[in-house]
Amino acid sequence: MGYIEELRAKIGHIPLILNGSVAIILNNQNEILLQKRVSPYGTWGLPGGLMEMGESAEETAKREVFEETGLRINNLKLIDILSGAEYFVKCSNGDEFYSVTIGYFTKDFEGDIVDDKDEVLEHKFFNSKNLPQEMLKSHRKIIEKFNEKYL
């Protein structure tokens, strides 16, 4: 059981502030790796997830990317940090939280993509200006900020 699950077991569904990291992974065609998620089902997003106790934001991105994709990433560059009322989420199980999302990008990755079947339905590279409709709001915003700053 991870930090969030332990916390939820003690406090229930009340709103929390949850910190997480995501990574834009670019291939040689400057396409972005996205994953179709199990939760929320069928929604596309960037590889990443929630911070565990004692982790840095960079360590979180690296761990989550490896767990979800099988890829090892390096040389992360900060895109932006998203937070505030517009990133409030109410889950289908009743959990509520405000997300703080730290976005990075890299072209430095190694390994073969392997889907974590507990979290991911599929992975696919997309042009950053032609993204799927059904995407996590904060992840779309990180990609938009990436496009503004770096493309």
Coil, strand, or helix at residue 39?
A: coil
Domain ranges within the chain, ordered by starting residue: 3-150
Nearest to 2 by CA among 52, 77, 72, 76: 52
Mean pLDDT of 33-41: 93
Q: What is the DSSP letter of 133?
A: S
Q: pLDDT per residue over 39-85, tens digit each?
A: 889 999 999 999 999 999 999 999 999 999 999 999 999 999 999 99
Q: pLDDT per residue over 73-129, tens digit each?
A: 999 999 999 999 999 999 889 999 999 999 999 999 999 999 888 889 999 999 998
Q: What is the DSSP string of 44-99?
A: EE-SEEEPPTT--HHHHHHHHHHHHHS-EEES-EEEEEE-SGGGEEE-TTS-EEEE
The CATH T-level fold of domain 3-150 is Nucleoside Triphosphate Pyrophosphohydrolase (3.90.79)
Mean pLDDT of 133-147: 95
Q: Which of 99-134 are b and which e, b meaning 16 or more Cβ less than 10 Å from the residue's Cβ? A: bbbbbbbbeebeeebeebeeebeebeeeebeebeee
